[in-house]
């Protein structure tokens, strides 16, 4: 492929995004379900490709019809298939740039229960998935044991993480895993929204929460597009009087990715020196994006130290991250292999059902036990995130508590600082596949079980007394 083909491929993604936005505006069902325009655009791209339009044309008309391969040339699909692995680094590099990183003590005081509950749900998704792979999926259908990581990668990580790990799936001999992960992520977004609305209605009717106040539909619409929409307006011109602000913020994201790359190379070199006589390889199979996230943290800490962080516009960083995520989702869904899903339909349905069931248990049973107060609003945030990435959690919390009277939104934001670096697209999410590949699923199952039980017990023992004190007062 050449630069011209890449250029036209990006233009086509822009057209698909515009089409998805128009369809979302015209058909209220997509707005009610809070389905982002990027997912609609990606599905349109999939339908217009060889696997759907091409198949229908070949089957109904003739094999040599001009639409037998869909409306997109192969060069465009080749470009699209390579975009997710690149753009996911930009998404994760931007997670903490422009955000104030408070002391860990402050984070823990505000978000401790949400961290314990969220970690329990995330590690539990590995326990459920790997157990199914060992007991059912691999013995019966012969699917790779790597499938045990699909629930956490897809539900907790979302489309970006699922697409970003596509190269790792291929390197480890489970290419179908990337397609299954993307499909599961789509199921998670849809079911997370639907079940969340059902649970909120149940909470109101059963008296567990007060009827939600009227939430601005425009606010929810904005949240539906991307994870966060900070509203502060900063005078970035003071910092960039000779540079276009967008260019400056792009440079910061690029710097974070570069620092992540240097860190990645250093870790690979260190691993090679440490294990020079061993065939064990971990860091080579770990993608760049979680290390780019660490690079973003380092950039933010440096900006804080030199007093320049106040000039960084978080809203603009979100726009950069959101654009990268939109393009990533469209490209990933448009090149999704329906054949891979069809060949693994039963494992796919089992993983989806088991993941949803565990998340419901986490909300209905564990949340009332682990949150000292306002368990419904706080648990709804974690439920939404463990079903369909951060944005769903924010949406559901906004519906339950539009005025943030419970403080759940603030706690949820602080929680991400202790959550995302590890799971939900963090270091362990990226390392889970090579760990299962190198050590086998059983040792990883033991490790994730210990983490699940440990966080569960800690949450119950540490925060349960606080719940009793709250009820007494």
According to the 3-state scheme, what is the secondary structure of the chain? Answer: CCHHHHHHHHHHHHHHHHHHHHHHHHCHHHHHCCCCHHHHHHHHHHHCEHHHHHHHHHHHCCCCCCCCCECCCHHHHHHHHHHHHHHHHHHHHCCCCCCCCCCHHHHHHHHHHHHHHHHHHHHHHHHHHHHHHHHHHHHHHCCCHHHHHHHHHHHHCHHHHHHHCHHHHHHCCCCHHHHHHHHHHHHHHHHHHHHHHHHHHHHHHCCCCCCCCCCCHHHHHHHHHCCCCCCCCCCHHHCCCCCCHHHHHHHHHHHHHHHHHHHHHHHHHHHHHHCCCCCCCCHHHCCCHHHHHHHHHHHHHHHHHHCCHHHCCHHHHHHHHHHHHHHHHHHHHHCCCHHHHHHCHHHHHHHHHHHHHHHHHHHHHHHHHHCCCCHHHHHHHHHHHHHHHHHHHHHHHHHHCCCCCCCHHHHHHHHHHHHCCCCCCCHHHHHHHHHHHHHCHHHHHHHHHHHHHHHHHHHHHHHHHHHHHHHHC
Q: What is the arithmetic mean of pLDDT over 78-105?
A: 84
pLDDT value for 467: 58
pLDDT at residue number 59? 75
Q: What angle do CA 272, 277, 280 make, to 5 degrees?
A: 60
pLDDT, one tens digit per residue, over 446-456 is: 999 999 999 99
CA-angle at 259, arms to 254 and 262, nearest 5°: 125
Taking residues 136-163, report their average pLDDT.
92
Residue 234, pLDDT score: 46
pLDDT single digits (tens) 226-281: 444 344 444 445 555 545 788 889 999 999 999 999 998 998 888 888 877 776 67
pLDDT digits (tens, 9 = 90+) for 191-228: 888 898 889 889 888 877 776 655 555 555 555 444 44
Question: Would you state the pLDDT for residue 118?
Answer: 93
Say if 109 falls within a structural domain. yes
Which structural domain, as residue segments, surrounds residue 224?
A: 102-231+340-468
Q: Can you tell me the distance from the alpha carbon of 111 to that of 103, in angstroms, rounded to the nearest whole number?
A: 12
Measure the CA–CA gap between 65 and 374, rounded to whole angstroms. 60
More confident residue, 396 or 155: 155
Mutual angle of helices 375-400 and 345-361, in 10-degree steps = 110
With tokens 């982002």, the residue in question is 36
pLDDT of res. 332: 83
CA atoms of 269 and 273, how far apart (whole Å)? 6
Angle at 269 between CA 267 and CA 274, to 5 degrees: 90
88-102, 130-144, 399-413: lowest mean pLDDT where? 399-413
pLDDT digits (tens, 9 = 90+) for 360-402: 999 999 999 999 888 998 999 899 889 876 777 877 887 788 7
Q: Is residue 142 part of a domain?
A: yes
Which of 301-315, 360-374, 434-448, 459-473 is predicted least confidently? 459-473
Tell me what the mean pLDDT of segment 340-356 comes to: 94
Residue 118 covered by a domain: yes
Give 347's contacts (C-beta < 8 A, 6+ positions apart).
137, 141, 143, 147, 180
With respect to residue 238, please indicate whether it lies within any of the assigned structural domains. Answer: no
Q: What is the pLDDT of residues 306-327, one digit of tens each?
A: 888 888 888 898 889 888 888 9
* Domain assignment of residue 185, yes or no: yes
Our count of domains for the chain comes to 1
Q: Average pLDDT, whole number, for the chain?
A: 84
Is residue 89 assigned to a domain?
Answer: no
Residue with structure tokens 């107060």? Answer: 373
177 domain residue, yes or no: yes
* Residue 351 covered by a domain: yes
What's the confidence (pLDDT) of residue 231? Answer: 41
Give the C-alpha distances (Å, rounded to integers) separating 47 from 72, 180, 286, 337: 11, 17, 32, 11
173's CB contacts (< 8 A; 6+ apart) are 144
Q: What percent of the chain has pLDDT over 70?
A: 89
Give the confidence band of 359 by pLDDT, cuts at 50, 70, 90. Answer: very high
Q: Is 345's pLDDT higher than 90?
A: yes
């Amino acid at each position: 492929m050449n630069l011209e083909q890449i250029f036209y491929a990006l233009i086509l993604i822009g057209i698909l995004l515009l089409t998805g936005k128009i369809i979302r505006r015209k058909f209220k069902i997509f707005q009610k379900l809070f389905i982002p325009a990027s997912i609609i655009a990606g599905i349109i791209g999939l339908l217009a490709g060889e696997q759907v339009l091409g198949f229908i044309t070949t089957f109904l008309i003739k094999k040599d019809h001009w639409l037998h391969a869909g409306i997109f040339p192969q060069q465009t699909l080749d470009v699209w298939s390579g975009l997710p692995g690149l753009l996911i680094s930009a998404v994760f590099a931007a997670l903490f740039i422009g955000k104030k990183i408070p002391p860990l003590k402050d984070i823990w005081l505000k978000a401790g229960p949400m961290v314990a509950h969220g970690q329990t749900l995330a590690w539990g998704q590995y326990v459920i998935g790997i157990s199914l792979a060992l007991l059912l999926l691999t013995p019966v259908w012969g699917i790779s044991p790597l499938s045990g990581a699909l629930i956490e990668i897809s539900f907790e990580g979302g489309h970006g993480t699922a697409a970003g790990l596509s190269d790792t799936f291929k390197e480890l001999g489970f290419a179908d895993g990337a397609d299954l992960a993307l499909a599961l992520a789509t199921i998670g977004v849809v079911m997370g929204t639907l079940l969340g609305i059902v649970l909120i209605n149940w909470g109101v009717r059963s008296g567990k929460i007060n009827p939600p106040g009227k939430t601005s539909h425009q606010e929810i619409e904005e949240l539906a597009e991307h994870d966060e929409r900070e509203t502060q307006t900063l005078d970035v011109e003071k910092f960039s009087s000779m540079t276009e602000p967008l260019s400056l913020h792009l440079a910061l994201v690029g710097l974070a990715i570069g620092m992540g790359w240097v860190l990645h190379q250093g870790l690979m070199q260190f691993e090679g020196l440490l294990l020079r006589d061993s065939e064990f390889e971990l860091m080579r199979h770990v993608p760049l994006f979680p290390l780019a996230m660490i690079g973003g943290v380092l950039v933010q800490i440096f900006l804080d130290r030199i007093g320049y962080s106040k000039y960084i516009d978080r809203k603009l960083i979100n726009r950069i991250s959101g654009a990268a995520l939109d393009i990533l989702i469209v490209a990933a869904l448009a090149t999704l292999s329906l054949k891979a899903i069809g060949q693994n339909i039963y494992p796919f349905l089992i993983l989806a059902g088991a993941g949803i069931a565990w998340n419901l248990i986490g909300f209905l049973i564990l949340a009332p036990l682990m949150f000292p107060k306002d368990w419904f609003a706080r648990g709804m945030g974690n439920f939404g995130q463990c079903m369909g990435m951060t944005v769903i959690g924010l949406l559901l919390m906004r519906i339950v508590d539009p005025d943030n009277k419970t403080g759940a939104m603030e706690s949820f934001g602080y929680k991400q600082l202790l959550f995302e670096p590890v799971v939900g697209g963090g270091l362990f999410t990226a390392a889970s596949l090579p760990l299962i590949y190198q050590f086998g699923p059983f040792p990883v199952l033991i490790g994730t079980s210990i983490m699940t039980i440990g966080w569960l017990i800690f949450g119950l023992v540490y925060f349960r007394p606080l719940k009793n004190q709250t009820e007494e007062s």
